Structure formats: structure tokens, C-alpha cells
Amino acid sequence: MGIKERRERQKEVLREEILDAARELFAKEGYESVSMRKVAEKIEYSPTTIYLYFKDKSDLLYSVCEETFEKLLHSFEEIAKQCSDPVECLEIGLRNYIKFGLTHPNHYKVAFMSRPEDLSLEDISRFISPDSMGTQAYSFLRDIVANCIKQKKFKEADPELVAQSLWATSHGIVSLLVVKCHFPWVEKEKLIDHTIKSMFNSLKM
């Protein structure tokens, strides 16, 4: 490995350290309570170093979320390669989504459960732009739902409505299990299985 490659590798490692620190702080303390200085202190660097990688705190949040959405999108794409039945693909995808959230609660809290109050319209438009990983991941879900309806495996319905309903229900499972961890839930896998089967039974022809 040459000097240039080594430097690029070091930069990437530091960038990941920054993202990991920011994710943990955002999840534990909330976006509004975290400053760039606090992120820098956590990894024992100066705030100036953080600004070499991220323009501001909203840019840092965006990058943290994009990393999470990219992981989800890639997992969806891998699942799609392995099954030809769209219903099976959708079910595996939703189970994977729930598993991801429960396995990576900090990733999930920041990407799906944080509510930054001070984001500008420009920041918000960046999060929901067609090129964002979050939008692409959701579009992938919606397209699979549309395919289920097109192949008459699901009842005739608005794909957008169905996709949002499935996502909202799956999100409810993850967020409750993550936040209300002391509630006397039934066995976790049984709860997930019953919820998914109930959703699909209501949609199938």
C-alpha cells in the first residue's frame, strides 16, 4: 500500500470514528443536545478536525442516516437476488428490517426515531431527495409491493398506501421493542411472526 492509499485509508477510518461517535451521542442525548465539539471530545480530536469531514451538524446527521439507509438498501437488494416470488421477497425484507433495527438500536433510533427541530428546509429536502439512500430504500419496498399487486398475489390497492402501512407497522414493532424494553412482551419472535402474518393475510387474494 502506497503513501497516498494509506492516507486515504486513515481518512476513511477517522470518518467512520466520527460517524460512530455522532450516532451514539445522537441516540443517547438527542440531536439538539449534541454539538460538533461534543462529538470531537468523544473521539479526542479538535472540532476543527470534524469540520474537515462534515460541513455542520445537519451534514453529520445526514451522513449518519445515509449510512444506515445504505445498509438497509443493500440488504434488500441481496434479498431480491435470492427469491423470485415478490411476496416472499417482501416478507423476508420486512423481517430483515425489523431484525436490523433490533440488532442496531442506535442506528435505528437516529435514522428513524430522531426529530430534529432545527433543520432548515434545505436540510429536509436533502433527506427526502430521490437520490438519498432513505428514499431509495423506501422506493425499493414500494416497488416490491407494486409487483405483488401487479401479479395478483395481493388484492388490488394503492401500492403507496400498502407500502406505507407495512412500513408503519414494522416501525411500530421495532420502536416499541427498542424503547419499551421493560414491558412484559410475549416471546419476541412470536410477536414479529404474528404481526407479519396478520399484515400479509389482510393483503392476499
Tens-place pLDDT, residues 62-72: 999 999 999 99
Cα end-to-end distance, the chain, whole Å: 58
Residues 205, 155 contacting (CB under 8 angstroms): yes
Cell of 26: 445522537
Class of domain 60-203: mainly alpha
Can you give the pLDDT at residue 130? Answer: 93
Torsion of the alpha carbons at 191, 195, 201 and 203, rounded to the nearest 10: -170
Domain ranges of the chain: 1-54, 60-203
Per-residue pLDDT of 34-53, as tens digits, reads 999 999 999 999 999 999 99
Mean confidence (pLDDT) of the chain: 93
Provide the H-helix boundaries in 109-204: 121-127, 133-150, 159-179, 188-203
Instruction: Decide: helix, strand or coil at residue 67.
Output: helix
Cell of 83: 427469491
List the one residue out of 173, 140, 172 whose CA is nearest residue 159: 140
| Confidence (pLDDT) at 116 | 78
Residue-level pLDDT at 7? 79
Return the CATH architecture of domain 1-54.
Orthogonal Bundle (1.10)
- Lowest-confidence pick of 3-7, 107-111, 190-194: 3-7
Q: Which residue has the higher pLDDT, 74 or 117?
A: 74
* pTM of this prediction exceeds 0.85: yes
